[in-house]
Structure 1
Amino acid sequence: MADFGDLTNEEVISRYGLDKDGILFLTELLREDLQPKTERKNTITLLQKVKIALRYFASGEIQLNDADIHGISQSSVSRVISQVIHALSRPHIVQTYIKFPKTQQELQDLERQFYGTASFPNVFGVIDGTHVQIQGPTQNKGVYVNRMNYHSINTQVVFDPNDRIIDIVARWPGSVPDSRILRESGVWALMEGGHLPPGDHYLLGDSGYPCERWLLTPYLNPQQGSQTQYNSAHKSTRAKVERGIGQLKGRWGVLHSEIKMNPEKVCKLIVCCGVLHNLCKSRNIPMPLDILHNDHNQPPTIVHSGPQDGLKYRDYVAETYF
């Protein structure tokens, strides 16, 4: 039987982000990568490794605190966290838990659910960028400084109507704008390449993105009538992405702190948190009771001013449905 002491399930969630059953499930999921090769006297067990890493992900506390809690050296904590990040960010695990919808049935199910929010048609996802603060790296330090003047990884996230992540891109320095991250992402390649089933299928984004035939943004100066109604429905529907980011960063407090790792490892850590976020959704693990659902690291929106091929599609949607 796993050793959780006298902690209740709610207390376990508060400390580790997952409930007791979720921790045991994750332990089995990572067994192949994390199982100790030998069983020496002071060997850190598989379950201990998972708990050490989850404690760090959930709290964002410095690793020395984690070492004190679990009774091992700070260097051992650092090594365990690296092992878990490597295991949890392996492609087969990421692709199992973070999936972009590609079938007509998957898209229709998501579009029907989004429609119930504010009657915006044919929306299957909402997209935004969020900054994760990092310690200034030793190389190329300047490119990691974002518009709010701190070092970060600018992360693109797409959520479905159930607050699940269907795509995450964590590999760009903080100075890179959302629009460029989108254009060089797999989402852009999928949508521009026509790899989804025929029909109108939309993502919603803010004005930092170009308006495309498949990515609809709000009107900056809407005319009274269909355009203001469009903007109202757009805002209500797109609020899902703000809620999703708030939940992601709320449960995994490390994303709210300055992460003292090299940028490459931070990118893997962000993806790990995305996987764990979706794991919690699939297992109906509630948010910790003391978490505020806010994203305090969101920069002000910079209005995209480049070519916007989807302007006529936006007009069509506004005039047809609103």
Structure 2
Amino acid sequence: MAAFRQVPVAPHRKERHFRLKDDLSLNLSNEELRERYRFGRDGINFISNLVSDDITRKTKRNHALTVPQMVMVTLRFLTTGIFLQVVGDTIGVYLHGTEWWMGKWCTAGDSGYPCRPFLMTPYQNPVLDHQKKYNRCHCSTRSVIERTFGRLKRRFHILHSEIRMIPSKACKIIMACAILHNICILLNEPDIEDDGLVIDNDGDLGDRFFGNQDGRGVRDHISSTFFNR
């Protein structure tokens, strides 16, 4: 009679139950919530109500994440900039691609960019008065933009360095941060401490671009039309 070797049976894995440690049901102060998620309790509730119809889980599973939980997971990811899996381990939830939500603009640039019909850069060596006036206006406009970028990056650290996702998802993350920043302004959420960003007198922050500058005709038209007075 042939001998049969018994094949070991893998032990049944006990189903894991995850609980959001910092849920709204806990007595965290608004300051503690803002430190973690950049929004107080009213702000998190506002966002949850805003996106509820789009992200409510269409499932009868007992352990599906609630809308506030998904909102808080996403805010924590945008606030810290760390990997989603690490966010899940820290907060105490299992994350996969469907368990968190993400949202469904002539531009002024410094001399590190090429002058394009859609991207206006400053004159590198302005001589005429209207060119100098154009540069001063360009600098003041970009100062507002750079301060806004600084506020965004201080609020959502995911924007401080590379976003390790495919370009389409990175664009959604940037757009989501901009929308959330506007909500912060709407709800009078406090700004994060200033990091001391300084704009140079000529409005440049990077190296100059010396390649093709096919937008110089548009720039000359703008400066001579609106600044030659």
TM (norm. structure 2) is 0.71
Change (3 A) 1:68 1:228: same
Q: What amino acid is aligned across from residue 17 of structure 1 in structure 2?
A: R
The equivalent residue for 2:55 is 34
The equivalent residue for 1:210 is 115
- Say whether residues 1:235 and 2:139 are aligned partners: yes
- Out of 153, 171, 174, the position equivalent to 1:249 is 153
Q: What amino acid is aligned across from residue 34 of structure 2 in structure 1?
A: I
Q: What amino acid is aligned across from residue 10 of structure 1 in structure 2?
A: E
| Deviation of the 1:283 alpha carbon | 2.4
Structure 1 stretches lacking a partner, 5+ long? 91-166, 168-186, 188-202
- Say whether residues 1:284 and 2:188 are aligned partners: yes
Superposed CA offset, 1:265-301 (max 9, x none): 2222222222222222232222234x63659xx7534
- CA distance in 1 between counterparts of 2:182 and 2:171 reads 17
| Deviation of the 1:211 alpha carbon | 6.6
- CA distance in 1 between counterparts of 2:56 and 2:110 reads 44
SS in 2 for 1:44: coil
- Out of 43, 48, 67, the position equivalent to 2:69 is 48
Contact 1:211–1:309, Cα closer than 8 Å, also in 2: no
The equivalent residue for 2:91 is 70
- Say whether residues 1:80 and 2:99 are aligned partners: yes
SS in 1 for 2:46: helix
Change (3 A) 1:205 1:63: closer
Structure 2 stretches lacking a partner, 5+ long? 1-22, 199-204
| Deviation of the 1:3 alpha carbon | 1.6
The aligned runs of 1:1-322 (5 Å cut-off) are 3=24, 5-73=26-94, 76=95, 78-81=97-100, 84-85=101-102, 88=103, 90=104, 167=105, 204-207=108-111, 208-210=113-115, 217-223=121-127, 227-289=131-193, 292=195, 294=197, 300-303=207-210, 305-310=213-218, 311-320=220-229
Change (3 A) 1:79 1:301: farther
| Deviation of the 1:26 alpha carbon | 1.0
| Deviation of the 1:11 alpha carbon | 2.8
Contact 1:216–1:314, Cα closer than 8 Å, also in 2: no
Contact 1:204–1:217, Cα closer than 8 Å, also in 2: yes
Identity of aligned residues (%): 32
Contact 1:59–1:253, Cα closer than 8 Å, also in 2: yes
Superposed CA offset, 1:206-264 (max 9, x none): 3435375x975422212375543442343123211111111222211112233332232
SS in 1 for 2:213: coil
Contact 2:48–2:71, Cα closer than 8 Å, also in 1: yes
TM (norm. structure 1) is 0.53
- CA distance in 2 between counterparts of 1:242 and 1:268 reads 20
SS in 1 for 2:228: helix
Contact 1:219–1:231, Cα closer than 8 Å, also in 2: yes
Q: Say which structure is richer in strand.
A: 1
**Structure number with larger C-alpha Rg:** 2
